[in-house]
Amino acid sequence: MERCSCRRSGFCLRRCANNQYSIDLDTAQEINKLFFEIILAPGYQKNVLELLQSKKNRIILQSKSNQLPKRLFRSVLNGVIEQTRDDIVETSENMKTITILSPSETEIKDLIFANKVVKHLKSNTIVIAKNKQLIASGVGQTSRVDALKQAVAKAGEFGFDLHGAVMASDAYFPFADSAEIADKAGIKSIIQPGGSIRDADTINYCNSHGLSMVFTGVRHFKH
């Protein structure tokens, strides 16, 4: 396995000279505190592999850059469905604040992170994030409320404090009940595509309860 030549330190994935990200020693030590059966990264800095391989039966892989096809095909009864790959990644410039309260700079960073995660999870999907970390998610549910309740329950089981967290949804909220559940759980900012005929109900709830919310105009359904 090729080792990364990057020698910069810090608890993060660092960009190497070959334009890849590598796991440094500090990050590897944090990883080793938890159980990970498989680790996949673009590169590993000096002495990192020896540490990560100290766990018995752990599988360590190195990813390669590749060009993914723009069109996707899924088989169905008597045929196939063709769709375009979802390669949209929103930034703060794609966010439209539609509440009286605007998200803070920290919340914007969390909203961007949560929205990146939510596009890769099965619909209906809710992602809760805080300090650019995934706190909990509710995935593959038949309703958005069920997805949110699942995420809140997961966070509670692990003892995570949701006060000040943000929430991302892969599609719009048909009713204001999701905003109410999020508010009572401690969530303070929401990102969603918007487009429901009842958007005003959700916006009004956020305005009356001190939540900020932004629209992106893009739905990230993944079935």
Amino acid, single-letter form, for residue 67: Q
Quick one: CA dihedral 91, 94, 99, 102, positive or negative?
positive
- Whether 165 is covered by a domain: the verdict is yes
Residue 134 covered by a domain: yes
Q: What percent of the chain has pLDDT over 70?
A: 91
**Residue range 58-82: average pLDDT?**
88
Query: Does residue 71 lie within any of the structural domains?
Result: no
Q: Both 109 and 206 in a single domain?
A: yes
Q: Are residues 99 and 208 in the same domain?
A: yes
Q: Are residues 48 and 97 in the same domain?
A: no
101 and 188 inside one domain: yes
**pLDDT tens-digit series, residues 183-194:** 999 999 999 999
Q: Is residue 184 part of a domain?
A: yes
Per-residue pLDDT at 8:
37
* The pLDDT of residue 222: 76
CATH number at residue 56: 3.40.140.20
pLDDT grade for 17, boundaries at 50, 70 and 90: very low
Pick 117 or 89 by higher pLDDT. 117
pLDDT of residue 48: 92
pLDDT greater than 70 at residue 196:
yes
Whether the pLDDT of residue 74 is over 50: the answer is yes
Q: 98 and 207 share a domain?
A: yes
120 and 28 in a single domain? The answer is: no
pLDDT digit string, tens, across residues 165-181 = 999 999 999 999 999 99
Whether residue 199 is found in the same domain as residue 145: yes
Task: Give yes or no: residues 153 and 202 share one domain.
Answer: yes
CA angle 24, 28, 31 (to 5 degrees): 145
Residue 151 domain-assigned (yes or no): yes
User: What's the structural domain count of the chain?
Assistant: 2
pLDDT of residue 132: 93
Q: For residues 195 and 114, state if they share a domain.
A: yes
Residues 124 and 194 in one domain: yes
The confidence score (pLDDT) of residue 20 equals: 55
Are 101 and 52 in a shared domain?
no
Residue 40: give the domain boundaries: 13-62
**pLDDT computed for residue 136 by the predictor:** 96
pLDDT (0 to 100) of residue 16: 45
If asked whether residues 99 and 193 sit together in one domain, one would say yes
7 occurs within a structural domain = no
Answer yes or no: pTM beyond 0.95: no
pLDDT tens per residue, range 102-144: 999 999 999 999 999 999 998 899 999 999 999 999 999 999 9
